[in-house]
Amino acid sequence: MIPLYKPFMPETPLVNEILQSGSLTYGKYGREFESMLTGYFSTNNVIVTNTFNMAILVALTTLDIKFGDTVIVSPMACLASTQPLVSVGIKIQWADVDPQTGTLCPDSVRNLMHLGPKAIIHNHYCGHLGHIDAINSIGKEFGVPIIDDGIEAFGSEYRGLKLGNLGSDVTVFSFNPVRIPNTLDGGAIIFRDSVLFEKSKLIRDAGIDRKLFRDSIGEISADCDIKLVAHSATPMELNTYIGTQQMDNVDRLIEKQRKNAVIWDEKLNNNADINPIITADVFPNYWVYGALAKNKAETIKQFREAGFYASGVHINNNIYSVFNSKINLKGVNEFMNHFVALPCGWWFDNKLK
State the CATH number of the domain containing residue 318.
3.90.1150.10
Please tell me the pTM assigned to this model: 0.96
Q: To 5 degrees, how large is the angle CA 296–CA 300–CA 303?
A: 135
Nearest to 332 by CA among 347, 315, 349, 348: 315
Same domain? For 125 and 208 the reply is yes
Asked whether residue 257 falls in the same domain as residue 277, the answer is yes
Range of the domain at 294: 251-342
Helix (H) or strand (E) holding 123: strand 119-123
309 and 234, same structural domain? no
Torsion of CA 254, 257, 259, 265, to 10 degrees: -130
Claim to verify: residue 32 and residue 138 sit in the same structural domain: yes
> What pLDDT score does 324 carry?
87
Q: 209 with 320, same domain?
A: no
108 shares its domain with 231: yes
308 forms beta bridges with 2
- Between CA 299 and CA 82 the distance in angstroms is 28
Looking at the domain assignment, is residue 173 inside a domain?
Answer: yes
Q: Mark which of 219, 247, 275 sits at the end of a domain.
A: 247
The b/e string for 96-109 (b: 16+ C-beta within 10 A; e otherwise) is bbbbbbbbbbbebb
Count other C-beta atoms under 10 Å from residue 93's C-beta: 17
Q: How many domains does the chain have?
A: 2
Q: Of 222, 247, 272, which marks where a domain is finished?
A: 247
Could you tell me if 39 and 156 lie in one domain?
yes
Helix runs in 69-167, H state only: 79-87, 106-111, 132-142
Q: Which residues of the chain have pLDDT under 50?
A: none
- The sign of the dihedral angle between the CA atoms of 33, 46, 167, 108 is positive
Domain boundary among 247, 262, 282: 247
Query: Rounded to an integer, what is the distance from CA 47 to the centroid of its chain?
Result: 14
DSSP string, 89-108: TPEEEE--B-TTTSSB-HHH
Say yes or no: 233 and 96 in one domain: yes
Residues 6+ apart with CB under 8 A from 17: none
Query: How far is it, in rounded angstroms, from Cα 244 to Cα 50?
Result: 15
